[in-house]
Structure 1
């Protein structure tokens, strides 16, 4: 019967209104979804907090849990939040509070913790009755000035308390710590950033309100995760900065170590954000068992609370570390991507925000807070000044005031009498005078009141000026932001690794000269050249590289970090690697196996390195050549252009015959003269044009005659005939060396020019005392000489300390060697970073008594 009644009839009879169920569900669901969006799941753009986080911080502030006060039980705080502000489950409140205390979840924690709050391995926190909390200093700055009418307060769920609708934060919290949440029909996933960078970006925006996103990116470079890691690729980050949506790829940080046994370990020291270390370790173990990743012998999570992340992966003896690392990135969470979706509540509505929007909204809110705070402080200062003005009037008429009060029957009468006395007092001032303590009537107190009044008037003038001048208000905001930066700013934790097609990575690498060392067993590293101090001739030298007992430093080169190095192996292959890609180490570090940097077979080794400034310079590569020589005296010349297209697997540079191996490679312009020297002390000199250019696969032609199976080529130099500043420097196995000019005083050639393939002439007098010839260089007096021994000892000396002698002499002693030691390699360096010896060092470097300084025979 009721179904046929009109809504009005049902309302009159039974107070039931008939509605369309479809419309009712739509309305109810929209109300619910908006409640979730605005009141639960999405952060406010101004303070970057969801209601639960805001309520936790406010409740802790109300409980007086400052950073310098004792901790209180977490259950006490959770109870306060539930009972007064947030009528939901205690688990949701405790979980939110725990996350704000975890330094691997928050880039800058807001809650100071005591007790078990879980760990990065995925273990959960202890129950709230066991843990304790208080506010971090940073969080206190989010609540600064909350008592100064800076924000609106609303009634809580049962109208019994008031709570802030927003926090008057001094910290750009949303950008700094990010946020994530799933609402109805929308979600947010905002990445954390570095506080220093964000504040620099805010100040740049204040200085120029028309600043673009691209200009802001110079300050706020990329997300900065609490667990560090490497941001791999920048385009997704750039897209998010511009549009509010994008993708960031994050890789864990790792390095390769070599154990004493010679086996290599991959050690993971940082894992991507929100990745459990135990889960990652277990996943690697599963992939090894399933034979998806080959080359791993064992994996173990050795991470601790004290020392941080350390996941150790032992490799099998024949495994190539780079291959294993790439498989880990591909198959495990060691490389993870995060979708960036910057959705926040702006003026009560959800909105997608780019970097500029986020900063501008925060600065606009901060400006509003400063205005409201200034207005409040002005009101309070005016109230106080008004009362002090009344005190001063009363003190000017002290006797009359005392008499008037004594003659008044009641306080109310006294108040009325003071107002009507004709001194200009109002009710507030009259009441304050009646409450004045007698001690303030002394002369000294009167002076204090006057001083206080004058100070207040200055403050009022300043506050009024501040309210009238927007520029000054923004200066106040800048000052307060810089204070936060000074207190809490830190370095980035996440590195940014740009992909090759995104930008020139050289623009991000500081250009400097480095020393590149390669040991006999193939360990390579780069070291700043300034670490090698200059010593006097005859010194003991310094450790140039830690090597195993059976290893020694064999090659030592100098290059800029921006250059490309061509690596030529003894089997005649050529590989490419940028200098900045080499592992960095100090003078005494061992370095890293070169097989893990280039795809070098186990039975091959690098014999020569050429430093090329820019392989993309077509004019340069077409006018230059690579000259190669082998131990058996073969010489070959090929255009540099043939080596200008790098390949990961390398290319064939020269065909090596059986029993021979590549010894040296030099870059020339086609107009040089070539000198080759052999172990027995002979050297040959011939024009470069005697060797015609051939392709990479050719064998080459005879350069110098090698007499017997014991003799071999030890070095090759390419010199310019017109360059009179350079001399030939030779060094023997037992530390003797000398310099010889190319031409004598009469202009005659000391080393006569011949055809290639001859025997050559004597370049050093080889004896049992000197040992065999080990190296030949062309040097100038502005350069330094670096000598490396098989023991790892290295000495650096000025070339002009090595005396100039004739071809047939044996030279002077350059370095004192132990009986079982020998020279392994020599190279020349530009004279940079060479430090003068102090007095004590000079004494230790002097030639010992009884040892002749100049062993010339």
Structure 2
């Protein structure tokens, strides 16, 4: 029977007339009052606290040592028991008891399960625990009880704990504050990458794949030697996971995605081969996908599918696996069955083909983060640098303390008579210590022992007396009488000299990061030599260097710049912040004095860049293959990226997002006045050696390529100063190998020097025409339309003579270039002798068509103008994506028409 609560409260608290406060029970009692709390908020706060506790203290590994708290505490408990790799095995019950009693006060069964998991070689690529007894099997058989099994640390675990006592990591109170436990292990062994980890927290899960130790060591070495190494190069070293159970990974796209973003999925198949015994065909399974159970997973599923009539050709299944022979599961087939067909059915219907999700989540500075392959390697290296520096500082401090103590002993031996006198005159030990501390010691250069004293110490005491510290005085007090002989000075000097060398070496390690890197590389080489073994998992679909670059490259908007000299680069569009009118912008590139940015456009990294050359060929580059460079870098020469022939040059760059839009066409214009309109889709397949974009006739060359729609107009300008503007669809659609049709009827010795795309609804721009003698003019584009008597305008018909654009007199010379411009544009004028002059388009007077123009550049005697380019400033690029037609943004598309 329950006891009645006591009622003998203090008199002041007994108030029978007081009514309970309203809402009692709705909140905590604070200062005698009830506080109302919203249950939703209280539940949310409490659940968040629980979730973070689960994430940080149970489910997720630390990125530095790759261990969850329970696993780390088991290894620390084994280290306390001195269960090193060479020691005798101890009962697992003892290990579990010490772990739960000292560090991890949770159920012993959960701790034992974690201990067993670290010993099972089908779960861990390099087990941390060396087992003895029944630790279960992949069948799966359960392990024996902890009172029957024994264990000790495996060699990788010893490497994880190496230097633990040398102040290499931080320590914290254990659960009851009686002992100290490390917050992380020194972790020389790259456990997170090699053994991976699995864990389910609240609201998140982690699934880090195991890898081959030799490959991981090589990758770490590569990152140390080349901090700028890119992911494709790392994947040449680590092609993918290496599961303890082997198997075959199908494809590399999931691997690449995981290594780049921290998340990916891979398909893993069993290893199966065919055997024939008598007249019966058999399929023999020798390796299973990672985390797939043999009996509960595979055998039971095959039996179920056979009974359901979906695996009718399977006659029997026999498990011939053994500890000595390894995995061998024999699937016997019925007579007449096709082994290849049954194998494919097994992959489709059973766990013999499974998917492994790679979710690279680990704790970084106590917070869960999704990590790429490079980030995991960097975190490992950062931790090892800190461990080595802390170990070095600890050893340096100890060496300095010991050197300090020996210095005092050297002082004493060099003045032993005075030391003995001071001690004999003292009545107590403390008095002797105080007298020694008050006495100044000196070793002059004339001292008999001076030649034996290290120069470093002699310089300190040769002129000034040195006062002993308490540490030195107490060390002298502990000297035995036999140590006062003259030969003792040689031993002390040798010890001191050795210590000085160690101190200088340790100080050099702390001062020189390269020394730390060298130590890491030496340790990594040692790990590889001791523990590495051959890869078990095969990766199919190409060799290690056949990587899916698209899968490695994130989809993002970038700004591509191309200079007049042919240097190309890309930058993330975030480098250019959108600015208001009048902004000063940012430096887009630092070009040579004779170079300038001529093409700028915004594109996706997964877009294609078509490069059309004057010989009629086209090359295709993926934008992500264009090197990413800083805003002040020139980039890379385009001739190093595409295979141009002698005298061949690129006349048009065109970014493409989608080749499959049926309404999109490209219009080509040649120097001999031919034009050709071809569907964009005809240029979707371009190999690395280029493709014939149009069939040029002898003596002809490509002048320009424009992206046109049905309503666009095309304007051709010739060297003799003629121009024709006609509708783009007047040039009928042709195949890729066609030569084209007549765009303009040229006079003898005349040629086309420029092609402009004109949108009929936008005639606000001007046409700039410049001649070889430095004269030019700008004329509104609308003047190149034919004006009817009723005031309406229309383009000319294709193939005509055109209309006079500029007078090509002896003063002007022939036309060399045409550009569509506005008054705000800046222009670069280039001459034969290499002179480059930058002018504003507004300084060129606007005149009517057929005028003679004005001087735009003063040329030296014998010099000629050969070209004009509109300067493309990157300063105010925004991050607007591609337009609907798959090219650059509207502004960028317009700019390519020049």
Into which bin does the TM-score normalised by the smaller protein fall? 0.5 to 0.7
- Which of 273, 278, 295 is the aligned partner of 2:290? 273
SS at match of 1:142: helix
Give the C-alpha shift of residue 503 in structure 1: 4.7
SS at match of 1:163: strand
1:224-262 Cα shifts (integer Å, max 9, x gaps): 000111111111111111111000111111211222x24
SS at match of 1:101: coil
1:121-200 correspondence to structure 2 within 5 Å: 121-200=139-218
SS at match of 2:283: strand
Contact 2:403 2:496 (8 Å CA) reproduced: yes
SS at match of 2:186: coil
Aligned CA distance change for structure 1 residues 197 and 439 (closer, same or farther; 3 Å): farther
1:350-371 Cα shifts (integer Å, max 9, x gaps): 1110101111111111111111
Give the C-alpha shift of residue 10 in structure 1: 9.2
Distance in 1 (CA, whole Å) between partners of 2:48 and 2:334 is 60
Distance in 1 (CA, whole Å) between partners of 2:169 and 2:384 is 11
Give the C-alpha shift of residue 6 in structure 1: 12
1:287-436 correspondence to structure 2 within 5 Å: 287-423=305-441, 424-436=467-479
1:761-804 Cα shifts (integer Å, max 9, x gaps): xxxxxxxxxxxxxxxxxxxxxxxxxxxxxxxxxxxxxxxxxxxx
Contact 2:196 2:209 (8 Å CA) reproduced: yes
Aligned CA distance change for structure 1 residues 302 and 411 (closer, same or farther; 3 Å): same
Aligned CA distance change for structure 1 residues 39 and 12 (closer, same or farther; 3 Å): closer
Aligned CA distance change for structure 1 residues 201 and 12 (closer, same or farther; 3 Å): closer
Give the C-alpha shift of residue 288 in structure 1: 2.6
- Which of 208, 218, 224 is the aligned partner of 2:236? 218
Distance in 2 (CA, whole Å) between partners of 1:382 and 1:467 is 14
1:736-775 correspondence to structure 2 within 5 Å: none
Contact 1:235 1:502 (8 Å CA) reproduced: no
1:494-505 correspondence to structure 2 within 5 Å: 494-498=537-541, 503=546
SS at match of 1:33: helix
1:106-125 correspondence to structure 2 within 5 Å: 106-125=124-143
SS at match of 2:326: coil
1:549-579 Cα shifts (integer Å, max 9, x gaps): xxxxxxxxxxxxxxxxxxxxxxxxxxxxxxx
Give the C-alpha shift of residue 477 in structure 1: 1.1
Structure 1: 5+ residue runs without aligned partners?
506-616, 618-857
Contact 2:301 2:350 (8 Å CA) reproduced: yes
Contact 1:2 1:10 (8 Å CA) reproduced: no
| Bigger Cα displacement from structure 2, 10-19 vs 142-151 | 10-19
Distance in 2 (CA, whole Å) between partners of 1:250 and 1:5 is 60
Give the C-alpha shift of residue 314 in structure 1: 2.0
Give the C-alpha shift of residue 167 in structure 1: 0.5
Aligned CA distance change for structure 1 residues 295 and 86 (closer, same or farther; 3 Å): same
Distance in 2 (CA, whole Å) between partners of 1:13 and 1:418 is 63
SS at match of 1:189: strand
Distance in 1 (CA, whole Å) between partners of 2:547 and 2:405 is 68
Contact 2:236 2:545 (8 Å CA) reproduced: no
Instruction: Note the aligned Cα RMSD (angstroms).
Output: 2.4
Give the number of aligned pairs.
Answer: 505
Corresponding residue number in structure 2 for 1:69:
87
Distance in 2 (CA, whole Å) between partners of 1:334 and 1:99 is 23
Contact 1:245 1:340 (8 Å CA) reproduced: yes
Distance in 2 (CA, whole Å) between partners of 1:14 and 1:158 is 32
Contact 2:255 2:265 (8 Å CA) reproduced: yes
SS at match of 2:118: helix
Corresponding residue number in structure 2 for 1:564:
none
Corresponding residue number in structure 1 for 2:70:
52
Corresponding residue number in structure 2 for 1:830:
none
Give the C-alpha shift of residue 15 in structure 1: 5.6
The answer to whether residue 531 in structure 2 is matched with residue 488 in structure 1 is yes
Corresponding residue number in structure 2 for 1:264:
281
1:398-547 correspondence to structure 2 within 5 Å: 398-423=416-441, 424-498=467-541, 503=546
Corresponding residue number in structure 2 for 1:202:
220
Give the C-alpha shift of residue 77 in structure 1: 0.8
Contact 2:56 2:367 (8 Å CA) reproduced: yes
Give the C-alpha shift of residue 18 in structure 1: 3.6
Contact 2:21 2:34 (8 Å CA) reproduced: no
1:524-546 Cα shifts (integer Å, max 9, x gaps): xxxxxxxxxxxxxxxxxxxxxxx
Corresponding residue number in structure 2 for 1:82:
100
Corresponding residue number in structure 2 for 1:284:
302
SS at match of 1:218: helix
Distance in 1 (CA, whole Å) between partners of 2:114 and 2:480 is 50
1:550-629 correspondence to structure 2 within 5 Å: none
Aligned CA distance change for structure 1 residues 407 and 340 (closer, same or farther; 3 Å): same
Give the C-alpha shift of residue 126 in structure 1: 0.6
Aligned CA distance change for structure 1 residues 343 and 10 (closer, same or farther; 3 Å): closer
Corresponding residue number in structure 2 for 1:842:
none
1:647-796 correspondence to structure 2 within 5 Å: none
SS at match of 1:188: strand
Distance in 2 (CA, whole Å) between partners of 1:254 and 1:409 is 89
Give the C-alpha shift of residue 82 in structure 1: 0.7
Distance in 1 (CA, whole Å) between partners of 2:291 and 2:492 is 59
Distance in 2 (CA, whole Å) between partners of 1:186 and 1:193 is 23
SS at match of 1:180: strand
Contact 2:172 2:180 (8 Å CA) reproduced: yes
Aligned CA distance change for structure 1 residues 267 and 21 (closer, same or farther; 3 Å): same
SS at match of 1:141: helix
Give the C-alpha shift of residue 17 in structure 1: 3.8
Contact 1:440 1:446 (8 Å CA) reproduced: no
1:96-143 Cα shifts (integer Å, max 9, x gaps): 110000001100000010011000101110111111111011101111
Give the C-alpha shift of residue 324 in structure 1: 1.3
Give the C-alpha shift of residue 169 in structure 1: 0.6
Aligned CA distance change for structure 1 residues 12 and 25 (closer, same or farther; 3 Å): closer
Distance in 1 (CA, whole Å) between partners of 2:204 and 2:21 is 39
TM-score under structure 1 length normalisation: 0.57
Contact 1:234 1:502 (8 Å CA) reproduced: no
SS at match of 2:358: strand
| Bigger Cα displacement from structure 2, 440-449 vs 166-175 | 440-449
Corresponding residue number in structure 2 for 1:823:
none
Distance in 1 (CA, whole Å) between partners of 2:23 and 2:341 is 79
Aligned CA distance change for structure 1 residues 500 and 474 (closer, same or farther; 3 Å): closer
Distance in 1 (CA, whole Å) between partners of 2:330 and 2:23 is 78
Contact 1:277 1:301 (8 Å CA) reproduced: no
Corresponding residue number in structure 1 for 2:37:
19
Structure 2: 5+ residue runs without aligned partners?
1-18, 442-466, 549-686, 688-898
Contact 2:263 2:357 (8 Å CA) reproduced: yes
Give the C-alpha shift of residue 472 in structure 1: 1.6
Corresponding residue number in structure 2 for 1:245:
263
Distance in 1 (CA, whole Å) between partners of 2:180 and 2:259 is 37
Give the C-alpha shift of residue 16 in structure 1: 4.6
